[in-house]
Amino acid sequence: MSYFDVASAAPLHAVARQALLAALDDGWADPSRLYREGRKARMLLDAAREAAAEAVGCRADELSFTPSGTRAVHTGVAGALAGRRRTGRHLIVSAVEHSSVLHSAEAWEADGGQVTRVPVRRTGAVDVESYAAALRPDTALACLQSANHEVGTEQPVAAVAEACRAAGVPLLVDAAQSLGWGRVEGGWSLLTASAHKWGGPSGVGLLVVRKGVRFAAQGASDERESGRAPGFENLPAIVAAAASLRAVRAEAEREAVRLRALTARIRARVPELVPDVEVVGDPERRLPGIVTFSCLYVDGETLLHELDREGFSVSSGSSCTSSTLTPSHVLKAMGVLSEGNVRVSLPTGAAEADVERFLEVLPGVVAGVREKLGAPVPVAVTEADVLVVDALGKRCPIPVIELAKVIGTVPVGGRVRVLSDDEAARLDIPAWCEMRGQEYEGEEKAEKGTAYLVRRLT
């Protein structure tokens, strides 16, 4: 089985396993106690904090261990907003942040705060000028991920941090995907991360708050972890997290070169091997091991199941892989195709032979899914010189398949009106037009669902 989904969770690193087992024997006591066992536990905790702080590039007393990366985000956002409540109640996030950041933003809005969601370019990166323009005198906090978790695009953190510094606004960086590869450059103020992303155990997050940043931890607290993560520390997991972070960093430079070559091969070969594919994300400014592409006329969930049958574990941001049947917020914000979406995130040590086998298997799998899915005979009528396709009650990619089948039957300059009640069509039909060189004229309310208007150009 080839595990190609480390962007979700990386396998436990060998160093993490060794450190975890050792700390289970030596780090079980309360590190706040003064007797021998407590002092031994305190030494392990302090050493882990020093190691993690060195990897991050901060002071040890600026770093706290939390029960998860999500908890680090929620604590960091809430604490920074509370600490600067006299400045204002305005929060800035990018449109492609991890759900933990967006959920914090939603909670802030529900409590009466204001949130600006900065859009991104088609590559998934924010425009620095647009981000800077969102800063206001009442902005209490700005958030920006270091790299995107779905498409791998790196964000211009250093430039955004400089704009925030000039405006006197702290910047919180979610570094969950990138910290295993290196430090986050720039003058950020707060940083969060999660150990299971770099091969540490799950249940350990990092929260860094720079000295001088106004911060007021919310909720009940105690004397542990500077009052930012109450409760008894999971010391064995913390020790393993710090040890594995140091270990992966030692391998990072060499492994990044190797994985970049493998993902570059996937990016280049997939469009050659499989027709009607869009490779998404920035082709250059990206994490080493992530490559994402979307296949037209393919159901994402079915595609993932078929790849699993062939021995490949991959992920997807496709609308069809979630219970809500709505497109990934990341793909939606980028304006790219969501149907048949596949994210390949290669682990450290991924074999070139496994990548080659993936490239060998993929064309047949996609073709098989397309054949199984079929293309139902579209229900089309002519209405005032507009061809109307009724795809109501049919989930994507069916509306796009039906559009593709009839577009050639209308004259150049003619229009097709696609009726659909699937939220994913709002993203996939414009993306299809972009790929196929047709003009998307917009949408309008219909008696049932939504009507999407397309003009044939070629």
Instruction: Report the C-alpha gap between 186 and 181 in whole angstroms.
Output: 16
- What is the distance between the alpha carbons of residues 29 and 23, in angstroms, rounded to a whole number? 10
- Pairing mode, if any, of strands 386-390 and 380-383? antiparallel
Yes or no: say if 224 and 40 are a contact pair by the CB < 8 Å rule.
no
**DSSP string covering 338-380:** -TTEEEEEPPTT--HHHHHHHHHHHHHHHHHHHHHH--PPP-E
- 221: its two tokens: 């607290």
Marked catalytic residue, from 58, 143, 295, 320: 320
Count of residues for the chain? 458
Catalytic site residue 320? yes
Concatenated DSSP letters of 135-201: --TTEEEEEEESB-TTT-BBP-HHHHHHHHHHHT--EEEE-TTTTTT-PPPS--SEEEEEGGGTTS-
Please give the Cα distance from 94 to 124 (Å, whole number).
10
| Burial per residue of 121-148, b for 16 or more beta-carbon CB atoms within 10 angstroms, e otherwise | eebbbbeeeebbebbeeebbbbbbbbbb
Query: 53 vs 13, 47, 154, 242, 433, CA distance in Å?
Result: 19, 10, 22, 9, 48
Closest by CA position to 208, among listed 70, 60, 16: 60
Dihedral pair phi/psi, residue 291, rounded to 5°: -140, 135
Q: What is the DSSP letter of 320?
A: G
Q: How far apart are CA 441 and CA 452, in angstroms?
A: 8
Parallel, antiparallel or unpaired: strands 2-3 and 312-313: parallel
Residue located via tokens 């705060």: 113
CA distance 15 to 373: 45
Q: What's the maximum distance between 2 C-alpha atoms anywhere in the chain?
A: 87
- Mind telling me the catalytic residues? 320
